[in-house]
């Protein structure tokens, strides 16, 4: 099932008490593209991602997943169409990497199917694609932060869903592991034709890796477009409230963005 | 696990052979009655009780991601015991007793504790609230005991600590009925509980509704505990230390927790019958003692680390 627009939001409003965090957001994520959600803290980007993932029900509006209203889909059906890598998770003791990644097959196999401890090609493939197969039988709690993030990505991939949502996937990682994770996601996007939506804090990384940026301000979409077209000093001021220069250079067809605050 | 299996066989043989008369191969009629009508059902009830408590403890602590969320600390065991004890003390005839009052008590006790814990974070909160609910249940039971005549007090003592005294084959019937429902429920809830280990958002992303799964786990654990408590009382702390001991042996699965629970209860019951012979101790007293020992051991290790 690959719809032209696998994921979209229509007039989404979310209110936390008095504060309206999302005040009518429309977004269409096209098949095979990587969209990054940008904005300052409190702009509503993480809330939007949680709404798109179905973790949070909007007070108004709807999320369409593969053309169907998400509210009408069962949780397992949602999981077959969409996988999420949440920002932080408890460290799970007593599980090996393979046992952990295997849990991603719950939606496809059902609770009784999970009882049979059979070899699953999707688990093997997810371990291979993220390069964690050499630690497959190691306990998860022995891995480093960077390794663990790859394993968590493998868990999401094992769901074999066409849409992948990432909530700040590079937080808590050093620069090398940040680049590693972003490169990995891009490779998966191209190899598997995945549609990716991520919340990213680093403007330069968002511009470098993602096809499209959607900037939120005060709960609405402030700017939406290709990073080369819209990320400039005006964008910096409007979205982050920072005055400074944005330099963009293209080498070997790759767009590189340098942000220099005044 | 091989060690657990070996100890299990040893404990089972001991449970059948030891007692007033040592019988390894029953030949006379009396010996056959002693082994098959008295010791065998008691052995089976002990094994089933230990396995149920171990499995319930594992379900609760895994689904709530808290090593202290065990039936004894969540008011599940205490609630079941208080409900059964009250029914007996006041001579209330409840259909399906003692299983139904045990089940209601377990569910109410667990729900009360979880509601009170709600909002408070961390294992310590469960410990405090659970201790309060546990004491309240114990108080209800003691009050009920005080209000009854001495003949029934003997019966009620069973619900304070847990005992396998006087088990007959007919006592195993309600246990069997309970297990017919509890075991399939356990099988159905296990994959969901395993998924809950990863964290609520991960579990939800993988296709689970964490709230419902947790409720199902609590209901299943209440049923498992009720099956035990209805017949044998809350055999103290087995739900706490069977999963903990299995984990120390490197096994975090339900089979390991249930096996350890079964072996511990059968072994403790053999000791309960023989140590102060001819006086029988309540098996729950011995398991409580074992739990204290394990708790001290764990605490010492934590301090060292």
Q: For residue B59, what are the domain limits? A: 2-304
Establish if B195 touches chain A: CB-CB under 8 angstroms: yes
Of B201, B204, B206, the CB nearest to A103: B206
Token code pair at residue A244: 């400074």
The torsion angles phi and psi of B156, rounded to 5 degrees, stand at: -70, -30
Establish if A78 touches chain B: CB-CB under 8 angstroms: yes
Please state the domain count of chain A. Answer: 1
Judging contacts by C-beta atoms under 8 Å, the chain B residues touching residue A89 are: 198-199, 201-202
Please state the domain count of chain B. Answer: 1
Q: Which residue positions in chain A have pLDDT lower than 70?
A: 1-3
Domain assignment of residue A198, yes or no: yes
Q: What is the pLDDT of residue A119?
A: 82
Judging contacts by C-beta atoms under 8 Å, the chain A residues touching residue B191 are: 106, 111-112, 114-115
Q: What is the pLDDT of residue B186?
A: 96
pLDDT tens sequence across B37-89? 989 999 999 999 999 999 999 999 999 888 888 898 889 999 999 999 999 88
pLDDT tens sequence across A225-250? 999 899 999 999 999 999 999 988 88
What span, in angstroms and rounded, lies between the C-alpha atoms of A110 and A44? 34
- Are the beta carbons of B201 and A111 separated by less than 8 Å? no
Q: What is the pLDDT averaged over residues B27-31?
A: 86
Judging contacts by C-beta atoms under 8 Å, the chain B residues touching residue A79 are: 205-207
- Are the beta carbons of B205 and A159 separated by less than 8 Å? yes
A-interface mutation test, from B207, B253, B255, most A Cβ less than 10 A away = B207
Domain assignment of residue A1, yes or no: no
pLDDT tens sequence across B80-119? 999 999 998 888 888 888 889 999 999 999 988 888 877 6
Which CATH number is A141's domain given? 3.40.50.300
Average pLDDT, chain B: 88
Q: Tell me, what's the ipTM? A: 0.89
Establish if B212 touches chain A: CB-CB under 8 angstroms: no
Which CATH number is B167's domain given? 1.10.3470.10
Domain assignment of residue A2, yes or no: no
Establish if B194 touches chain A: CB-CB under 8 angstroms: yes
Pick the residue from chain B with its C-alpha nearest to A100: B198
pLDDT tens sequence across B234-290? 998 999 989 999 988 888 889 999 999 999 999 999 999 888 888 888 899 899 888
Q: What is the pLDDT of residue B65?
A: 85
| Secondary structure class of A66 (helix, strand, coil) | coil
A 178-217 residues inside an 8 A Cβ radius of B:
none
Domain assignment of residue A181, yes or no: yes
C-alpha distance from B199 to closest chain A C-alpha (Å): 6
Q: For residue A201, what are the domain limits? A: 7-261
Domain assignment of residue A139, yes or no: yes
Judging contacts by C-beta atoms under 8 Å, the chain A residues touching residue B246 are: none
């Amino acid at each position: 099932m690959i719809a032209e627009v696998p994921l979209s939001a229509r007039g989404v409003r979310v209110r936390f008490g008095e504060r309206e965090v999302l005040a009518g957001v429309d977004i269409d994520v096209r098949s095979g593209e990587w969209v990054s959600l940008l904005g300052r803290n409190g702009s509503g980007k993480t809330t939007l991602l949680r709404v798109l993932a179905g973790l949070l029900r909007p007070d108004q509006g709807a999320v369409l997943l593969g053309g169907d209203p998400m509210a009408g889909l069962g949780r397992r059906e949602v999981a077959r169409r969409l996988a999420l890598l949440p920002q932080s998770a408890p460290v799970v003791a007593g599980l090996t990497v393979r046992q952990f990644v295997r849990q991603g097959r719950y939606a496809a196999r059902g609770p009784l199917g999970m009882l049979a401890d059979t070899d699953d090609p999707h688990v093997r493939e997810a371990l291979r694609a993220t390069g964690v197969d050499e630690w497959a039988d190691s306990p998860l709690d022995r891995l480093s932060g960077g390794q663990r993030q790859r394993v968590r990505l493998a868990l999401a991939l094992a769901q074999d869903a066409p849409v992948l949502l990432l909530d700040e996937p590079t937080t808590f990682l050093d620069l090398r592991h940040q680049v590693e994770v972003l490169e990995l996601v891009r490779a998966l996007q191209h190899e598997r034709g995945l549609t990716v939506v991520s919340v990213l804090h680093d403007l330069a990384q968002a511009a470098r890796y993602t096809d499209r940026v959607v900037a939120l301000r005060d709960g609405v979409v402030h700017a939406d477009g290709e990073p080369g077209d819209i990320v400039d000093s005006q964008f910096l001021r409007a979205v982050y409230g920072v005055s400074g220069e944005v330099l963009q250079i293209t080498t070997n067809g790759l767009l590189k963005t340098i942000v220099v605050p005044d | 696990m091989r060690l657990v299996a070996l100890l299990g066989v040893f404990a089972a043989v001991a449970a059948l052979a030891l007692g007033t008369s040592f019988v390894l191969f029953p030949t006379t009629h009396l010996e056959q009655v002693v082994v098959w009508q008295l010791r065998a059902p008691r052995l089976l009830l002990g094994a089933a009780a230990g396995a149920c408590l171990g499995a319930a403890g594992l379900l609760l602590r895994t689904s709530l991601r808290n090593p202290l969320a065990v039936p004894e600390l969540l008011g599940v065991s205490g609630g079941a015991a208080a409900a059964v004890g009250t029914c007996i003390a006041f001579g209330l005839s409840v259909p399906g007793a003692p299983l139904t009052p045990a089940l209601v008590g377990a569910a109410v006790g667990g729900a009360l504790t979880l509601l009170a814990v709600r909002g408070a974070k961390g294992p310590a909160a469960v410990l405090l609230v659970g201790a309060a609910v546990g004491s309240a249940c114990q108080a209800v039971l003691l009050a009920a005991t005080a209000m009854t005549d001495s003949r029934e007090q003997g019966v009620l003592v069973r619900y304070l600590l847990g005992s396998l005294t006087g088990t007959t084959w007919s006592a195993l019937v309600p246990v069997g009925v309970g297990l017919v429902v509890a075991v399939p429920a356990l099988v159905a809830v296990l994959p969901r509980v395993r998924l809950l280990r990863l964290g609520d958002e991960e579990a939800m992303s993988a296709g689970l509704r964490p709230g419902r799964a947790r409720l199902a786990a609590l209901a299943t654990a209440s049923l498992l505990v009720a099956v035990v408590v209805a017949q044998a009382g809350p055999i103290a702390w087995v739900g706490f230390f069977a999963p903990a001991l299995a984990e120390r042996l490197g096994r975090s699965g339900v089979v390991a927790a249930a096996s350890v629970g079964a072996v511990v209860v059968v072994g403790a019951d053999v000791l309960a019958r023989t140590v102060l012979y001819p006086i029988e101790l309540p098996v729950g007293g011995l398991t409580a003692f074992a739990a204290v020992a394990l708790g001290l051991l764990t605490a010492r290790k934590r301090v060292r680390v």
